[in-house]
Homo-oligomer: A and B are copies of this chain.
Amino acid sequence: MQQLRPLNVRRVPRFREAAYRAIKEAILDGRFGPAHPIIEEDVAEALQISRTPVREALAILQHEGLLAPRNGRGLYVRTLTRDEFVSMFAANEVVEPYLVRRAALRADESQIEEMRDALDRAERCAESGDMAGFLRAGRDFHRLVGQACGNTPLTRFITQNEERTDLYLMSSGQTLGPERMRASNEEHREILDAILRRDPDEAARLVIAHSQLIRRRLSELFEDRPATPEDERP
């Protein structure tokens, strides 16, 4: 029977996958401070699995740039250098306008509904002062925009970028006040409105303005922080 593909009982590494998600979630929730080393065995014990799948997950997270070895001993959440910070926002401002433009042209009703949901979620988090949840909802919004655009590679790129900048924000010890969160979310709503009106130019304009605003707000964080050397893997 040709129309039924073989069940595809994906025997993918379940523990590795679970560890990857769990660690990433913990990182993005800010549960690891910049001075808190991530110890393989501790993670393994917490998840009740062995070190092997944990190691594989950590290797991936390292490759993604969320973690980095320090002094050759111990993995830590990676803090951004000033240059990286600038680069990430420049990248956003290159990519996001394209995504939101096409999203404005192509998003269907259900996608728009999901975006609205994400913004509602963000609002609730803003009310309750849940910064990690707020940032997560914001990433979801941008991811949904990317999905509406339909470009998987760029969507992944943007998502990873925002994970890293949000992570930086979390681990900097900065706390976003509810009014700031509400303001940021209001900008998101305006972008969604432009998408609803099928106005790509306005949507692109708004998304650039949004990114620039965030950049300005965050730049203060670097006032007193010296640029630390970047050890990228090419």
A161 B152 Cβ-Cβ under 8 A: no
Residues on B with C-beta less than 8 A from A56 are 55-56, 59
Q: In the complex, what's the smallest C-beta–C-beta distance from A58 to chain B, in angstroms?
A: 9
Can you tell how many copies of this chain the complex includes?
2
Chain B, Cβ-Cβ closest to A229: B5
Q: In the complex, what's the smallest C-beta–C-beta distance from A10 to chain B, in angstroms?
A: 5
B11 A88 Cβ-Cβ under 8 A: no
Interface positions, chain A 61-113, Cβ under 8 Å from B, are 63-64, 69, 71-73, 83-84, 87-88, 90-91, 94-95, 98
A50 at the interface (CB under 8 A from B): no
Interface residue from B153, B232, B234 paired with A91 (Cβ < 8 Å): B153
| Chain A interface residues (CB < 8 Å from chain B) | 5-6, 8-13, 16, 52, 55-56, 59-60, 63-64, 69, 71-73, 83-84, 87-88, 90-91, 94-95, 98, 143, 150-154, 156-157, 159, 161, 229-230, 232, 234
- 10 closest A-B pairs by CB: A11-B72, A87-B151, A56-B59, A94-B98, A91-B154, A60-B63, A10-B72, A91-B153, A157-B157, A87-B153
Chain A to chain B contacts (Cβ below 8 Å), 15 pairs: A5-B229, A8-B71, A10-B69, A12-B69, A16-B59, A56-B56, A59-B59, A63-B64, A87-B152, A87-B153, A91-B153, A94-B94, A94-B154, A143-B234, A152-B230
